[in-house]
Every structure is written in C-alpha cells, then in structure tokens.
Amino acid sequence: MSSSNRIAIALFLILALTGLAGCSKPVEIGVITSESGAAKIYGDEVGRGLELALEEINAAGGYKGKPIQLIYKDDETKPSVARHAITSLLEEDKVRLLIGGIASPVMLEIAPIANEAGVVLISPTASNPAITQMGHFIFRIHPSDILEGTNMAELARDLGIEKMAIFAVDNQFGAGLTEVFSDRYQSKYRKILKTFEFPESGSSAFAAMVDEVKELSPEGVYIVGYMTDVAEITRMLRDADVDAVIIANSGVTGRISEMIGDAAENMIYPQPNFNLDTNDEDMRRFITAFRARYGEPPQRFAALGYDTLRLLYDAMVLGGNSHPDTVRASLRQLKDYQGASGRINFDENGDVVQYPRLFIIRDGKPIPYQVFLDEGGTLTIPGR
C-alpha cells in the first residue's frame, strides 16, 4: 500500500472512531521512515509504535480537540530519497514537526535541512555521533554511538579478548560505531586483525569475508549492521565453525533467535533500557497495550516509535501550541520523562542521556548479561 493511501485510510478511521471528524484542520506531523530498504525491519517496528501512540492520543481527544495526522514518506533507507521526502513534507505538506529518520545516513542527510528550516526533527533510532552537532531543532531518543561503542569495547576488554575482527556496514552508521569501538579497544596488547566493510543488504559479499575470518582465527568478532545482515553473518560464521565470541550492535533484538536459531546462542548486544520483564509501570502499560493491539510482544524499536510521538505531543501540551520554537523549548524542559523505552532526558545538544544494558542470548532468549554472570555463566575464548 502506498504512503498516501495509508494516510487517507488511517485518518479516516481515526476520525470515524474518535468523533473528531467535525473538528478543524488536524495537527500534521511528517514521518520520514524506512518502509523499504536495509532498515525496513526497524521502520516497521517504529511504525507500529507510532500508530499505537496515535490511536491513544486521538481516542483521548487529540490535541486541543484536533486529531493528530501522521504523513508518511518512505526514504527507502537512502539519503537521496530522504532528501526528496523532507523537501516534499516541508514545501508541499507544510509540516513543522518531523519524525525520522530511522537510519543514521538518512538522519545525517535530513537533519541539516530541518534545522535550517527551523523545524523540529526527532529521530527514534539514529545513533551516529555526528548527529549531536546538527543543530538546536534536532533531537533523538536513541543513545549516541559514543556510549554504545565504548560499552562494547569495555566488554571485549573485560572478556580478555586480545584479537578482534570487525564486520561493519559501509555507511556512516557502521563507520561511527567502528571508529569509537576501535579507539576504545586497541592497545599494545589488543589488536583488530581486520575490519570488513560490506554494503547494505550485502549477503553476496559475506562468504569470502567469512572464509578470511576463519583463516585469521580471531578471539572475538564485532558485527555492526542492520539486523538482517547481522543475523546472516552470524549464521555463516557458526556454519564455518568460527567459535569466536560474537558481539553486536544495538540493532539486534531478541528476534535474532527466530531468524537463525542456535547460531545466535551466546551473542552479546546492548539495549537501551527497554525490557519485556520490567517492573516499570509505564513500560508495562505500553507492553500490555501493544500486545492487545498487535497480538504479540513489542521489540524496543516499537517502544522508541511510541515514545517519539508521545514526546512531541506532550511537548505541545506543555508549551501550549505546536509551533516548532515552542516544541523545541518544551522538549528541553521535559525532565525524567518516563516513556515506554525508559527514562528520557535530553542534553543541551538534543541527545538522549541513556546508558545501554548488555544482553546475551541463552537458550534462544535474551537475558541481561549481568544476570548471566550472577548465575555463574562464562564464555570460552578460543584457544584458551
């Protein structure tokens, strides 16, 4: 279904169900998302979270009696397409509030345009460190790669891994995490044997890379990419009997076990706060509502999408209007915002202040890495 048809159908249903059909023009928010391309798996999850938040907000009366309308544009996970999408939203749809992009390369393309136009842009998922410097109208609720890359380098050091190989998607997202990890990991006694860069959706390139990794015999492998590629690389490494410790980026969710089965066992990856087993009341409320709406538990990217729209809405309520200057100021005033994805605070650059937690796949399910350690769990380093 096309984005325009989705808009029409979604708005019709919202108006019919909530009794807002007789109200004035809706509050329009543009959404630049990955409905296709390498980041589609995340765009789909973010979209489900957005739609749940939208239904709840409009069912409660919308904003000052006006329905919220989301205008979707597919960026295809391509910066060039995203540029056309934001231009269309700004010039044709005249939106002044934006959600997106899903992937860091897309966000790096559209953020300067939004900031120059004086339009609030908030990303649910983009993580490249350079986004920090994109301007006062730019926000994100996914932690910067600086925190994540440092965290994973510390993990590799703590495990005593002395030889690493890296697989990294060949874009700004892959480059940003790889740079941070490499800087924090390498020393006189620890080295990176080789970094393998692969194209988005680059499965045809993996076989030769995996063969070379097997020859290099690393003790650990760090995989940075979108989950479909991370899953395929992991499966191929295990099929080739590469027994290195595998750590991955936060693009991984517990669903990786559904994708590759036992090959995912003992993979370690970071997740910013969201936890299906949480005792947090707000997080539990979201999980229950998501299950009721979609018939299955949410992944954290759905929680990030949900929080993104909720934050924009609450900023409008706090400031009293939907003008970008007001929303920008209100977002910075929100303190200890308890969302579905965890507690949210923005620093002076619009970056969320959150520290990732580590998870490990055990018996096909993700558990906190600290729980694994507390229960006496250990990992075997090859050759020791």
* pLDDT tens, residue by residue, 217-261: 999 999 999 999 999 999 999 999 999 999 999 999 989 999 999
- Both structure tokens of 225: 């990419």
Q: How many H-runs (helices) and E-runs (strands) does the chain carry?
A: 13, 14
Which domain does 288 fall in, by range?
3-143+278-344
* pLDDT tens, residue by residue, 148-172: 999 999 999 999 999 999 999 999 9
pTM of the model: 0.87
151 and 226, same domain (yes or no): yes
Residue 349 falls inside a structural domain: no
138 and 150, same domain (yes or no): no
Question: For residues 248 and 215, is the Cβ–Cβ distance under 8 A?
Answer: no
Q: How far is CA 233 from CA 57, 129, 159, 169, 228, in A?
A: 41, 25, 22, 11, 9
Residue 322 falls inside a structural domain: yes
Residue 10's pLDDT band, with cuts at 50, 70 and 90, is low
Residue 269's pLDDT band, with cuts at 50, 70 and 90, is very high
361 and 256, same domain (yes or no): yes
Residue 265 falls inside a structural domain: yes
Residue 103 falls inside a structural domain: yes
User: Which of the two residues, 77 and 11, has the higher pLDDT score?
Assistant: 77
173 and 293, same domain (yes or no): no
In the predicted structure, residue 76 carries a pLDDT above the cut 70: yes
pLDDT at residue 193, rounded to an integer: 98
The DSSP symbol for 47 reads H
DSSP string for 244-298: -EEEE-TT--TTHHHHHGGGGTT-EEEE-S--TT---HHHHHHHHHHHHHHSSPP
pLDDT at residue 8, rounded to an integer: 45
Question: For residues 156 and 222, is the Cβ–Cβ distance under 8 A?
Answer: yes
- Both structure tokens of 153: 């380098």
114 and 173, same domain (yes or no): no
Instruction: Please report, for the domain that includes residue 252, its CATH number.
Output: 3.40.50.2300
Residue 380 falls inside a structural domain: no
In the predicted structure, residue 288 carries a pLDDT above the cut 60: yes
Summarize the confidence of residues 309-319 as an average pLDDT: 98
Number of domains in the chain: 2
Q: E strand or H helix at 210, and its extent?
A: helix 206-216
368 and 240, same domain (yes or no): yes
Q: Of the candidates 57, 84, 83, 87, which has an alpha carbon nearest to the alpha carbon of residue 70?
A: 57
To the nearest 10 degrees (0 to 180), the angle between helices 40-59 and 300-319 is 40
CA distance 128 to 230: 18
In the predicted structure, residue 13 carries a pLDDT above the cut 60: no
